[in-house]
Amino acid sequence: NRSERNSVVFLRAREYKDRVAIVDSNGSHSYERILFLSQAIGNSILQRIRGRDLSGRCVAFLCPNDVSYVATQWAIWRNGGIAVPLCNSHPTSMYDYMIQDCNSDLVISSSDYAPKLEPLARGQEVTIMFLTDVDQVLTSANQMLSSEELTAVEMAEQCWDERNAMIVYTSGTTGQPKGVLSTHGNLRSQITALVKAWEWKAADYTIHCLPLHHVHGIVNVLLCPLWVGATCHMLPKFMPDKVWDILTGDEPHPSLFMAVPTIYSKLIEHYEKENLTKEEKENIRFRCEQLRLMVSGSAALPEPVMKRWKEITGHTLLERYGMTEIGMALSNPLRGPRLAGSVGTPLPGTEVRVVTENVDGEKEVIAEGNEHGSHVSSFNEGREGELQVRGPSVFKCYWNKPDATRETFTEDGWFKTGDTAAYANGVYSILGRTSVDIIKSGGYKISALEVERHLLSHNDIVDCAVLGKPDPVWGERVAAIVTLSPGKKLSLEDLKRWASGFMVPYQIPSVLLVVEELPRNTMGKVNKKELRTVYFGKE
């Protein structure tokens, strides 16, 4: 269907005209205004490079989390470029790595970031273009532009689906970040799957407090609302007091909220510190119940967080599973039971399967399914294997890494996620990354995520990371690195005694380290490879 294949967020925006697309610290911005802005930014880029369009070019951009991000992204897309979002909290060396890796010779940014970007321009053949303040761009452009105007690429493009849209770098949890190239068709599938499953509609209003260089922040919380003509309230960064204010404030009232587990933990922490009265607590709960959906993802949601959030707000968080390479693949239901520790079933358009190798080294499919249902034999129920994904949401390739791309797909076109999963009782659950979360100890395979789930139910343990410590006898030993509530102490003997009541013996940690803080990245993830090197030396 041609019109569907031609569906992109900035063309749809024309229909939404003066509806509010973005709210940020400068006020409200209509869809029309963002189209103007992107037209103006696009024109100044073309002037600067003396080009007709940006076809096939990687354009890196570093913007604050506000309307200028959206307008710049659209300016790049509307002129045929590949948008490469940079993270505003990364050090210059990371920009250097990414810009070189994707051979971008053009960076769009605002002068706020000049000190971090200028060293780049000195070292490489890079043009850095600083946008003047958004209002200025608009006033100087207003007279000449109309939101009806199309760019040369928009006029010529017959099918956006095939066109390269974006390179997003993976979190770098397991190595150097890899550039994931997605087409506009990939993005369309990723967006429409969520629009359908979570029933996004024009009347929705969401809060955005995530980084804008990962699919969670880009696709789930920004492009989904913009796709349907809804409103996205962008905060410059995550601030617990600000988020609580919006969640519990008067008009306009949000209808959806999405975040990573650490954000929910921080919101809970802030709530507990406030010494709220009974009435205030009731009011918070009442206000939160006006939202129709709250989602968690990007890392495993600890059960105590899920439970406490439910007590405070009345919401059972919907946990979903996704990756830079595939968008979202599995989700708990919008309507229907949401199981703690599970990531639900396949999203529309996505096929998933769990695969293992049998004793003869042959591939064996344990479970397989799509949005309509999954199959598993009673023998395979709950067995673990690698999660593989196929469908139109799956990315095109790793940028400039043909070997890595080849290795990550099976011969029959399934993407190998590198995550271990199991299917039981009608839902999939993620046991962790095969490379760091599946601990092999004395012949057992132990899921670090499962051990973490247990440890977090201990009253004094605030945060934890479980990993395998290399060991000559056991292969690996289960090691727990934990942070404790203020003033608390915990010895390995205490922990063992406490755990022996309910944990499987081989799951119980035999190494315990108490630390001040666990290093988490902007998405709240722990880099276990790095932790292992820091605490247990090189492998």
Dihedral pair phi/psi, residue 313, rounded to 5°: -110, -10
Residues in the chain: 539
Binding-site string for ligand ATP from residue 305 to residue 344, where x marks contact by CB under 6 A and - marks none: --------------x-xxxx------------------x-
User: What one-letter code names the amino acid at 84?
Assistant: V
Q: Is 525 in the site for ligand ATP (CB under 6 A)?
A: yes
- In this complex, which beta carbon is closest to ligand ATP, that of residue 22 or of residue 449? 449
Which residue among 390, 433, 453, 454 contacts ligand ATP (CB under 6 A)? Answer: 433
HEC per residue, 452-509: HHHHCCCCCEEEEEEEEEEECCCEEEEEEEEEECCCCCCCHHHHHHHHHCCCCHHHCC
- In this complex, which beta carbon is closest to ligand ATP, that of residue 57 or of residue 433? 433
- In this complex, which beta carbon is closest to ligand ATP, that of residue 341 or of residue 470? 341
- In this complex, which beta carbon is closest to ligand ATP, that of residue 246 or of residue 267? 267
Which residue among 172, 314, 348, 470 contacts ligand ATP (CB under 6 A)? Answer: 172
CB of 433 to ligand ATP, least distance (A): 5
Question: Beta 475-484 vs 511-514: how paired, if at all?
Answer: parallel
CB of 172 to ligand ATP, least distance (A): 4
Select from 149, 125, 129, 148 the least CA-distant residue to 137: 129
Select from 235, 362, 461, 3 the least CA-distant residue to 244: 235
Q: Is 393 in the site for ligand ATP (CB under 6 A)?
A: no
Q: Which helix (H) or strand (E) holds 272?
A: helix 261-273
214 binds, among Mg ion, ligand ATP, none (CB under 5 to 8 A by kind): ligand ATP
Sheet (strand 461-471) strand order: 461-471, 475-484, 511-514
CB of 7 to ligand ATP, least distance (A): 25
Select from 187, 161, 156, 152 the least CA-distant residue to 45: 152
Under 8 Å CB-to-CB from 243, ≥6 apart: which residues? 207, 209, 235, 263, 267
Which residue among 85, 177, 304, 369 contacts ligand ATP (CB under 6 A)? Answer: 177
Q: How many CA atoms lie within 13 A of 325 on its CB side?
A: 19
Q: Is 298 in the site for ligand ATP (CB under 6 A)?
A: yes
CB of 160 to Mg ion, least distance (A): 27
Residue numbers of the site for Mg ion (CB under 5 A)? 170
CB of 436 to ligand ATP, least distance (A): 9
- In this complex, which beta carbon is closest to ligand ATP, that of residue 171 or of residue 182? 171
- In this complex, which beta carbon is closest to ligand ATP, that of residue 204 or of residue 452? 452
Q: Is 182 in the site for ligand ATP (CB under 6 A)?
A: no
Any idea which residue has 């070997």 for tokens? 403
Select from 369, 323, 318, 322 the least CA-distant residue to 346: 369
CB of 396 to Mg ion, least distance (A): 16
Rounded Cα gap, residues 478 and 41, in angstroms = 53
Residues 74-133 that bind ligand ATP (CB under 6 A): none
Dihedral pair phi/psi, residue 89, rounded to 5°: -105, 0
Rounded Cα gap, residues 508 and 240, in angstroms = 34
Which residue among 254, 297, 346, 385 contacts ligand ATP (CB under 6 A)? Answer: 297
- In this complex, which beta carbon is closest to ligand ATP, that of residue 33 or of residue 320? 320
CB of 502 to ligand ATP, least distance (A): 22
List residues near ligand ATP by CB under 6 A.
170-175, 177-178, 214, 297-300, 319, 321-324, 343, 417, 419, 430, 433, 525
